[in-house]
Structure 1
Amino acid sequence: MAKYIKKPIPIEAVEYRVGLEDGFDDIEVAVNNGLNTDAYKSPINGEKVPYILTLEGKHYISIGDYIITGVNGERYPCKQDIFYKTYVSLNQ
């Protein structure tokens, strides 16, 4: 199998805060859409689950997730541990 490496293309990213989501689902709706509540840690208080609409569909946002804006303006959440393994800051 051929191997590849990502091109060093700067992206925009920010740790999730209220206002960056595309909407909220009730917890029951999120569970019916496949949210695993055993592994989910809500970044907000209450029975609502924030989400982002991505090219692949709706993705729920967990505590500590980063919201990444890709090269074509698409947005998606990224788990904090994966983010730190994959990206470095240009602001250092």
Structure 2
Amino acid sequence: MSVIEIDKLPPGVGEFVKKPVRVRAMQFTYPTSQELIDWVGANMGTPMKAKDGKSKAQVRILTLEDGAPGSSHQVEHIATEGDWIIQGTKGEFYPCKPDIFEETYQAVNNA
């Protein structure tokens, strides 16, 4: 796959800037804090040993993409230790890798 130069975008491809949207987030650590468990609630599975071998633990996060419980449309959204769990604008939760989180979000001063 080749990299397309920004000045040579294919017809119909536009450039966009993400709107400033305020979200809430908490970092997944192991052992998992009671605050995170209480906050995410039933949208978080049981933390278990990480399969990637780089982290101590991982946890499944149920998102809007998962559909209704028991749905045949199930997507695996896994947070590993250090990932951020974000609550979006519709109350949904989803994991985000730390480097992407730092690139995309900044803390809000609640003064």
TM-score by length of 2: 0.59
Between the aligned partners of 2:93 and 2:19, the Cα distance in structure 1 is 18
Structure 1 residues 72 and 84: CA distance shift in structure 2, 3 A: same
CA contact (8 A) 2:27 2:83 kept: yes
1:11 corresponds, among 20, 23, 35, to: 23
Structure 1 residues 2 and 62: CA distance shift in structure 2, 3 A: same
| Code of the aligned partner of 2:62 | L
Structure 1 residues 67 and 25: CA distance shift in structure 2, 3 A: closer
CA contact (8 A) 2:64 2:92 kept: yes
Per-residue CA distance 1:4-62 (angstroms, 9 max, x = gap): 111111111111142246112766xx8xxxx6x25x5133xxxxx42111123331111
Deviation at residue 2 of structure 1 after TM alignment: 0.7
Q: Verify: 1:42 aligned to 2:85, yes or no.
A: no
Between the aligned partners of 1:71 and 1:12, the Cα distance in structure 2 is 9
More strand by share: 1
Q: Give the secondary structure class of the aligned counterpart of 2:46.
A: strand
Task: Tell me which stretches of 4 or more aligned residues in structure 1 moved more than 6 Å.
Answer: none
Structure 1 unmatched runs, 5+? 44-48
Structure number, greater radius of gyration: 2
1:63 corresponds, among 81, 88, 91, to: 81
More helix by share: 2
Larger RCO: 1 or 2 (CA < 8 Å, sep 6+): 1
Structure 1 residue aligned with 2:109: 91
Task: State the number of aligned residues.
Answer: 79
TM-score by length of 1: 0.69
Cα RMSD of the aligned pairs, angstroms, is 2.4
